[in-house]
Every structure is written in structure tokens, then in C-alpha cells.
Copies of this chain bind each other. A is one copy, B any other.
Amino acid sequence: MTQRYKYVLEEKDLPTQWYNIVADMKEPPPPYRHPATLDFMKPEDLIPVFPEALIAQEASTERYIEIPEEVQDVLKMWRPAPLYRAHRWEKALDTPAKIYYKWEGVSPAGSHKPNTAVAQCYYGKQEGLRGFATETGAGQWGSALAFATRLFDMECKVFMVTISYHQKPYRRIAMETWGANVVPSPSTETNAGRQLLEQDPDTTGSLGMAISEAIEYGVTHEGYKYSLGSVVNFVLLHQTVIGLEARQQMEMAGDYPDILIGCAGGGSNAAGLIYPFMKDKLDGTKPDLRAIFVESTACPSMTRGIYAYDWGDTAKTGPVAKMHTVGHGFVPAPVHAGGLRYHGMAPTICALLDQGYAEARAYHQNVCFDAALTFARSEGFIVAPETAHAVRAAYDEAMACKETGESKVILFNASGHGDFDLAAYDAYLRRDLPDYEMEEETIQIALQDLPKVPA
């Protein structure tokens, strides 16, 4: 056998620029609105919250943005990340499809998340910040920021949803190993937290509550700002290193994808892989390219939500964005894919869906683990529950090829490993994993509290 399994790049092949899709969109997403006034927001309104360089990136319409050398230097700790041809999985599925995946599990934090954490820390440090505050659910984002702040000699304050803090101690410990200060949220360290605890001393917390605490902590502590791990443009921008590398690697493999796939909670890993290829669809070079964003039926913002302005957080303190949403007040069922439990979606992804450039689909968790199990038993890697959604979509597309006999080229993003999520595999293997589907009535209720923006 002389099959080639993976395509590796040298450090010198690391992209030196990020790709900003806004430059190529026929119609970029409409501007953010102010959380209180609902007027269009001025960039300077965000200064208390985010580093200024990131606010500038958020508003940028430049096609390419330089990756600072110091950021490249840290990314080189694990990047370029390998791209795999899934020969063994193809064989197991007996499909004529050619399946490729980009493996982001090689980062120290085990997912794609450090790609933006590192960039955010660089700009924060440049601005003279002492530290960042953030929220985390299952802990994938929190651990990425803990890792990145440490490398830039910054402090890191993580508000971790109380129930996860107690149920998923390993990610908490990883954050502490990198030096972060992690507290269960709601905590007594913020007004928002104290108020929530007063209302319900036994609350197990939610991501919405943790966001409120993190923003408050970030804007009220000297030398601190707030750091966000998905949804906004600058985060998606930083993740485009994934797709920019993958383009080079697909070229090495002599293939070009027919179908691109990524799981999407806020959308950053999927966009990171897909956008640098989407460029070819937007400019007409590859009109037939398909891009599939995959979500959970427990939180079906793209497939069952509406496309409207909504607040990004429960406490209504962040910017109001036009996006596919199931309502900022919605608390999704406890699926193991904690990263897919966000009520909204990145505005650029939503605009691309709305304009017909991309597709969305939702899966129950059991069918995702079905596919992830065949993947683990062929390719070796045990992927995160979020990633399992992308694996399922790739599986279905490969099976469709088996039906039609077509040898399509499928590329998906394997966004992270499942080392900290094995309890989910255990439940699955013991047939003890419930499926969740958001009920129509719940959506209707959740959508009643959308902001009334001027027409």
C-alpha cells in the first residue's frame, strides 16, 4: 500500500494573513445594535468590552488581515495542523466518496479554540491589559483562553457554569494547571452573580448567567476586558487559518472539496474551515460548492429559529445582532455537545444561509455518536460530541454517494478531541443517552421577547 493518510505542512507554510469573508460577501450582515437603545452601534461603544484592535477587525472590510508575527509564533506550537484522508473510514463505510478531515485536536487545549484565544491575548497584551474575563460551559473555550493568557503572561478569570464546574472537573483542572482562576457561576464576585444567587441560592447556572458575570468582571476590573470565543466576526476571522491551511493541503492531495462540513454552535470552527473555500463560491469560481453547517436538534437556531435581531446574551448586555435565533432566553436541553447550546449563530454565517450560499442541518445526539463510533473504530480518533455532529453529516453525505455511485470529495472539520467527554461515550455505549428536540411551543415562547428594532 502506498496510500497517503495525512498531509502535513511545515511551520513556514503557516498562513501569514487571515481571510475576512466580509470583503467578498454580496451583502454583509447588517450592523450591530446597542443592547439598550437598539440604535446602530458605533465601534467605540465596544471599547470598554473588547481590545480596540479587535473592534477594528470586527468592522474591517479588508479581504486579508496580517497575522502578527508573535501570534504566528504561538500558533506554531501546534500548527499547521494535519489534514487527513479517511481511507479506513471510507473502506468501513464502503463508499466511493473521498473523505478528508482537518484535525484540530492537536492543540494543547485539544480543539480549534486556541486559534482565536492566542490572537485575542496578543492584542490585549499590546493594549496593556492585565487580564481577560470569560465564561465557559463545558470548558473548551475556557481552557483555550487559560492556555493563551499564560503564554502572554496575562491573568485569566473564568466563570464556569456551576453544574459543569462540578460535573466536568477535568477541564477545570486543565485551566488551573495553566494558571487561570476558575469560579463556579453564578458567583459572589459580581453584582449579576450575587443577584442571581439571591433569587435562587441553589441555581446550577447557565451560559447566559456566566456571560453576564464575565462581561461585568471584564469592564469593572482595572486592566481587564472581556474575551469571547465565537459568534463575532473577529473570532471567525482568526479561525480562517484552518481553511487556509486546508486549501494548501487539499492541493497537495490533488483534490478540491465538493462538500464542506462543520459543526456550529456559535459557528467559529465551521466558518474557519469553510470561509477560505467559500471565497471561490462567492466569486463564481466554484458555484456548485456546498457548505453545510451542522447543529443540534436541542438548539436548532439555523433550522428552526428565525432570522432576526436578538440579544447575544440573557442579561441583554452584549450587542444585538441579526442572526438565526431560538431566543436569547432559551435554555437548551443538556446535550453533551455543550458547545452547540448557543441560542444564536454568527451573523456572517446567517447572512450566507439567508442568501443561499450555505446549508444548515440538525441532528439528534445519538445518531452523531453512531457515526463518531464508526469513525473512532476506523480512524482511531475519539472526537468531541460537538465534532460528532460534523462526523454525522460527513457520514450521511458519504452514504448518499454510495447510493448514487458518485465519488464526491467531502471535507469536514474535526474540531476537537473527546478526551474530556468520555462520559458521553459511556452513556451512549450503555444506551443511556436521551435525544432532545426543541418543542415548537418552546420556540414560540422563546421568540416572544425579541428586541423591537426600528424597521
Interface of A toward B, CB cutoff 8 Å: 1, 3-6, 8, 10-11, 69-70, 73, 76-78, 88, 106-110, 147, 150-151, 169-170, 173-174, 176-179, 373, 376-377, 379-382, 417, 419-420, 422-423, 425-426, 429
Q: Which residues of B contact A78 (CB under 8 A)?
A: 380
Given contacts A422-B169, A425-B177, contact A5 B1 (CB under 8 A): no
- Do the beta carbons of B379 and A77 come within 8 Å of each other? yes
Cα distance A344–B177 when bound, in Å?
Answer: 32
- Do the beta carbons of A173 and B422 come within 8 Å of each other? yes
8 sample A-B contacts, Cβ–Cβ < 8 Å, listed by A number: A5-B11, A6-B77, A107-B380, A108-B380, A108-B381, A169-B422, A173-B429, A177-B425
Cα distance A221–B426 when bound, in Å?
Answer: 28
Cα distance A417–B147 when bound, in Å?
Answer: 15
Report the minimal beta-carbon distance from A391 to chain B, rounded to whole angstroms: 13
- Do the beta carbons of A377 and B1 come within 8 Å of each other? no
Cα distance A170–B429 when bound, in Å?
Answer: 13
Q: Which residues of B contact A423 (CB under 8 A)?
A: 169-170, 173
Contacting residue for A179 out of B107, B108, B377, CB 8 A: B377
- Do the beta carbons of B110 and A174 come within 8 Å of each other? no
The 10 closest A-B pairs by CB, nearest first: A108-B380, A419-B419, A173-B422, A170-B422, A173-B426, A5-B76, A177-B425, A150-B377, A1-B73, A108-B381
Q: Which residues of B contact A426 (CB under 8 A)?
A: 169, 173, 176
Report the minimal beta-carbon distance from A2 to chain B, rounded to whole angstroms: 9
- Do the beta carbons of A419 and B170 come within 8 Å of each other? yes
Cα distance A420–B174 when bound, in Å?
Answer: 11
Q: Which residues of B contact A429 (CB under 8 A)?
A: 173, 176-177
Contacting residue for A3 out of B6, B73, B179, CB 8 A: B73
Report the minimal beta-carbon distance from A39 to chain B, rounded to whole angstroms: 43
Q: Which residues of B contact A10 (CB under 8 A)?
A: 8
Report the minimal beta-carbon distance from A148 to chain B, rounded to whole angstroms: 9
Cα distance A77–B150 when bound, in Å?
Answer: 31
- Do the beta carbons of A4 and B11 come within 8 Å of each other? yes
- Do the beta carbons of A108 and B77 come within 8 Å of each other? no
Given contacts A88-B151, A422-B173, A423-B173, contact A376 B178 (CB under 8 A): yes
Cα distance A88–B77 when bound, in Å?
Answer: 10
Report the minimal beta-carbon distance from A434 to chain B, rounded to whole angstroms: 18
Q: Which residues of B contact A380 (CB under 8 A)?
A: 77-78, 107-109, 147, 151
Q: Which residues of B contact A420 (CB under 8 A)?
A: 419
Cα distance A150–B3 when bound, in Å?
Answer: 20
Cα distance A73–B1 when bound, in Å?
Answer: 7
Q: Which residues of B contact A174 (CB under 8 A)?
A: 382, 422, 425
Q: Which residues of B contact A110 (CB under 8 A)?
A: 419
Cα distance A10–B179 when bound, in Å?
Answer: 35
- Do the beta carbons of B178 and A377 come within 8 Å of each other? yes
Report the minimal beta-carbon distance from A83 to chain B, rounded to whole angstroms: 12
- Do the beta carbons of A77 and B151 come within 8 Å of each other? no
Q: Which residues of B contact A373 (CB under 8 A)?
A: 177
Q: Which residues of B contact A88 (CB under 8 A)?
A: 151
